[in-house]
Amino acid sequence: MAKVPSALVAAGGLVGGYGVARWTRKRQLGGAVLAVAGAAAAQQWREQAGGKAAGALTAAYVAAFAGSHPLAKKVGAWPAVFGAAGAVALASWAVAVADRNA
């Protein structure tokens, strides 16, 4: 069975976590989605690129989540979430996938 790429897992966690929190009006449920996807992505990053890279990408994931909040006040919630998700996906691809294919 093929794995879902870590970049997609991380981006999906940010978008899905926000979507679940918004549509259910239960922030804790959105947080659970965010945490589960983040843990799954971190495991893949560790397997693909090692512990240091996984730590850096996990920090980027958390920073993107935190950074999307003030950004949302300037550009709106969904654009901020999609921007944060795109940034994390790009970083994930660059660190965990591109190096393996080089």
> pLDDT by residue (tens digit) across 2-12?
588 999 999 99
CA 63, 69, 75, 81 torsion: positive or negative?
positive
**Angle (nearest 5°) at CA 84 between 59 and 21:** 95
Quick one: CA torsion of 19, 42, 44, 33, rounded to 10 degrees?
-20
Question: What pLDDT is recorded for position 100?
Answer: 64
pLDDT digits (tens, 9 = 90+) for 43-85: 999 999 999 999 999 999 999 999 999 999 999 999 999 999 9
Give the whole-angstrom CA distance, residue 98 versus residue 40.
Answer: 19
